[in-house]
Amino acid sequence: MLSIRNLQIAFRSGDSLNPALKGVSLELGKGETLAVVGESGSGKSVTALAITRLLASPPAVYQGGEIMFQGQDLLKVSDAELRKVRGGKIAYIFQEPSTSLNPVYSIRSQLAEMIILHRQDVADIDAEIIRWLDAVGIVDPAKRLHDYPHQLSGGMQQRVMIAMALSARPDLLIADEPTTALDVTVQKQILDKLRELQRDLGMAVMLITHNFAIIRGLARHVAVMYRGEVVEYGETDQVLREPRHPYTKALIACIPRLGDHRKRLPTIESITG
Ligand code: ADP
Ligand code: MG
């Protein structure tokens, strides 16, 4: 469904071009989950945003490659075509609910806007909103309709953001570190919920994280990014069992085990000597 081939993106700074993606290739099948794992600055978000051309250009420069989605190259389609894809067919959730939720509108009006824009089949909008808030695990959703984002906890805001993204019934959800800001228990609840909804909707998910520990059991395939390149790709269980690239070994070595509070990420130099 999604096939990124040899994507190259750089950022212009004065006279120089700093490469951010140096030929990234990724595949994602219908209804599947791909985890993209890598340390901060490795190019995960640039990849995510590039898929629907959300990077401001300048400074971003698309230097080459293609992004095939449902049979068309998103790097070549018109802006009008792209607007139909964004939100409707490809939806995003981010680490910060504030990037998606607008503080001056109620939960109801933000979800309604999404549904009106992307769903022609919904007659009773409030009922649909309540159904989605319930689906993402918000208790007593009818009473929350007129709340504003600041009246909800971080975890609840994250759930509303997921409800908003999914209410358009996208074919692909790109989740960029969706739970990084939350504590571990809430993270797990939200990721479990996301997986349940994914199954119901038959939606594909690109789950971006710097944390290898959370993807086990969530993503069938994993791509490991390092300095703008995919250095390892494979089935998650296989990669966790037998990582080939030194950087993947380093990432796996720092998955915390029970009673183990190491936080430092081993550097690639310390592994390769
Ligand atoms: P991450 O894996 O943490 O999500 P990013 O994809 O955000 O990393 O960043 C990859 C590289 O691209 C980094 O070196 C970053 O500094 C650079 N970069 C990202 N966005 C911009 C921008 N708007 N302008 C200049 N450089 C950027
Ligand atoms: Mg990022």
Assess whether pLDDT exceeds 90 at residue 254. Answer: no
- C-alpha span between 239 and 235 (Å, rounded): 6
**Residues 147-199: tens digit of each pLDDT:** 999 999 988 999 999 999 999 999 999 999 988 878 888 888 889 888 999 99
Which ligand is the nearest neighbour of the Cα of 14?
A: 1
Polymer length of the chain: 273
Strands 72-73, 90-93: parallel, antiparallel or unpaired by DSSP? unpaired
Smallest CA-to-CA distance from 3 within 247, 214, 223 is with 223
User: Which residue has the CA at smallest separation from atom 8 of ligand 1?
Assistant: 41
Smallest CA-to-CA distance from 23 within 188, 177, 229 is with 229
User: Which residue has the CA at smallest separation from atom 10 of ligand 1?
Assistant: 43
Pocket test for ligand 1, best of 4, 45, 212 (most atoms within 8 A of CB): 45
- C-alpha span between 145 and 190 (Å, rounded): 20
What pLDDT does residue 267 have? 60
**Residues 58-109: tens digit of each pLDDT:** 999 999 999 999 999 999 999 999 998 998 899 999 988 888 899 999 999 9
Amino acid making up residue 156: M
User: Which residue has the CA at smallest separation from atom 12 of ligand 1?
Assistant: 20
- C-alpha span between 244 and 239 (Å, rounded): 8
Assess whether pLDDT exceeds 70 at residue 271. Answer: no
Sheet with 2-13: strands ordered across: 16-28, 2-13, 60-69, 72-73
pLDDT tier, 265 (very low <50, low <70, confident <90, very high otherwise): low
Pocket test for ligand 1, best of 17, 22, 46 (most atoms within 8 A of CB): 46
Burial class (CB in 10 A: 0-12, 13-18, 19+), 264: exposed
Assess whether pLDDT exceeds 60 at residue 17. Answer: yes
Assess whether pLDDT exceeds 90 at residue 269. Answer: no
Buried-exposed string 166-195: b where 16+ CB fall within 10 A, e elsewhere: bbbbbbbbbbbbbbebbeeebbebbbebbb
- C-alpha span between 175 and 200 (Å, rounded): 17
pLDDT tier, 273 (very low <50, low <70, confident <90, very high otherwise): very low
Assess whether pLDDT exceeds 80 at residue 10. Answer: yes
Helices (H) and strands (E) in the chain, counts: 10, 10
Strand spans (E) along the chain: 2-13, 16-28, 33-37, 60-69, 72-73, 90-93, 172-176, 204-209, 221-226, 229-235
Q: Which atom of ligand 1 is nearest to the CA of 48?
A: 6
What pLDDT does residue 172 have? 97
User: What is the whole-number distance in angstroms between the Cα of residue 122 and the centre of ligand 2?
Assistant: 34
User: 114 and 167 in contact (C-beta within 8 Å)?
Assistant: yes
Residue-averaged pLDDT of the chain: 91
What pLDDT does residue 100 have? 86
Assess whether pLDDT exceeds 90 at residue 14. Answer: yes
**Residues 195-214: tens digit of each pLDDT:** 999 999 999 999 999 888 88
| Residue 92 β-bridge partners | 174
User: What is the whole-number distance in angstroms between the Cα of residue 41 and the centre of ligand 2?
Assistant: 7
Amino acid making up residue 262: R
Q: State the angle between helix axes of 154-167 and 125-135 in degrees (0 to 180), rounded to the nearest 10.
A: 130
Average pLDDT, integer, range 33-45: 95
Average pLDDT, integer, range 42-63: 96
User: What is the whole-number distance in angstroms between the Cα of residue 39 and the centre of ligand 1?
Assistant: 11
- C-alpha span between 235 and 23 (Å, rounded): 21
